[in-house]
Amino acid sequence: MFCPKCGSLLLPKKDKSKKVFACSCGYSTKEMEESRLKEQIVVEGKIEVLDPDRDLESLPITDADCPQCKNNKAYFWLVQTRASDEPETKFLKCVACKHTWRDYN
């Protein structure tokens, strides 16, 4: 309910032994309308999260030199590992030997 004088929200308040709705401008009323809060939760579907160890074929491949086997192809993905105003961290996984490393460039 809203105040007819100023339009603010009327809040429940005890006036002696009675419950009233009152506004900060001084308006109050004893009339209480029944109000109910209804909330409906809608489940739309599952969000699929890729696991880089399991779903390698779904990751893009880039040119990168593996520090372990010197292969020049690697899968990559980005993860926000620091504060939001910092750039994300690029993770790489060698196509040949599956060695994983980070690229901060």
Identify whether 57 is a catalytic site residue: no
Q: Residue 33's pLDDT is what?
A: 66
Q: Residue 38's pLDDT is what?
A: 78
The model's pLDDT over 39-98, given as tens digits with 9 standing for 90+, comes to 888 887 776 666 655 666 778 899 999 999 999 999 998 888 888 888 888 899 999 998
- The DSSP secondary-structure symbol of 26 reads S
The residue written with tokens 């969000």 in the block is: 47
Helices (H) and strands (E) in the chain, counts: 0, 7
Give me the catalytic one of 15, 53, 85, 88: 85
Identify whether 86 is a catalytic site residue: yes
- What lies within 8 Å, CB to CB, of 23 at 6+ separation is 3, 5, 6, 8, 9, 10, 11
Give me the catalytic one of 39, 86, 88, 103: 86
Among 59, 56, 51, residue whose Cα is nearest residue 97: 56
